[in-house]
Amino acid sequence: MSRTVLIADDHPLFRQALRLAVEGVMPDARIVEAGTLEDAERAAVATDGLSLILLDLRMPGAIGCSGVALLHAVRPATPILVVSSADPDGAFRAALGFGAVGYLGKDQPLHVMEQAIADAVAGHVATCAEVTDAREGMADRIASLAPMQLRVLLGVIDGKLNKQIAHDLGINEATVKAHMTVVMRKLGVANRTQATAAVRAFGAGLDPIA
């Protein structure tokens, strides 16, 4: 079975640049592209033989590192290489905490992109000693959420009512409430307001997200 790479970035020109980098390392790879986090999740679920995910942190539909957390929950065995123009140090620390294997700045030349891709596919995982215990603790809690639980949490963070979240996700309100009960337990919080504060963990160390 041929290897497949998912390129998730909302800028077509940069997806093309990443495609060139992937082809330089994996000329036989099948490449799937996505322009939103929703499309990326759908592709990650449906794609067989997924060897690597190249993910822009600031995808439409993402909040900070929520895209990393969601795709890692969907495909925990697939390496995620974050590609971003955010502050390298802060984004690097944050992305690793949510399951990424490395970070690639968008201003890097082609040969650097190719090396980062080769390292990720080979199973090399970057490390960062500066991630604090508290930061890792919240990242681990969020990473423990199932994909649907993450979607419900994102809806709460976005200020939506249970009825709206249920409509968006195609489930009933009772199911939304059940998921939030589990989310609050896993995050160690007592109510929705405290759960909403978890968004700080998604974006910790990142530039403000437009």
pLDDT of residue 20: 95
Does 128 score more than 50 pLDDT? no
* Domains contained in the chain, CATH given: 4-121 (3.40.50.2300), 133-203 (1.10.10.10)
Model pTM? 0.71
How far apart are the C-alpha atoms of 99 and 203, rounded to whole Å? Answer: 14
pLDDT of residue 206: 40
Least confident of 6-20, 126-140, 153-167, 190-204: 126-140
Measuring CA to CA, which residue among 36, 82, 44 is closest to residue 60? 36
Least confident of 86-95, 128-137, 174-183, 190-199: 128-137
* Per-residue pLDDT tens digits for 164-191: 999 999 999 999 999 999 998 888 887 8
Does 135 score more than 80 pLDDT? no
What stretch of H or E contains 4? Answer: strand 4-8
List Cβ neighbours of 200 (8 Å cut-off, separation of 6 or more).
none
Does 137 score more than 90 pLDDT? no
Mean pLDDT confidence for 98-124:
88
CA distances to 47, 106, 185 from 191, rounded to whole Å, are: 36, 38, 10
pLDDT of residue 201: 58
Does 92 score more than 80 pLDDT? no
Does 208 score more than 50 pLDDT? no
Does 204 score more than 60 pLDDT? no
pLDDT of residue 88: 59
Half-sphere exposure of 37 (CA within 13 A, CB side): 22
* Per-residue pLDDT tens digits for 11-60: 999 999 999 999 999 999 999 999 999 999 999 999 888 999 999 988 88
Residue 71 backbone dihedrals phi, psi, to 5 degrees: -70, -30
Longest dimension (CA), the chain: 51
pLDDT of residue 25: 94
pLDDT of residue 198: 63
pLDDT of residue 131: 41
How far apart are the C-alpha atoms of 32 and 193, rounded to whole Å? Answer: 38
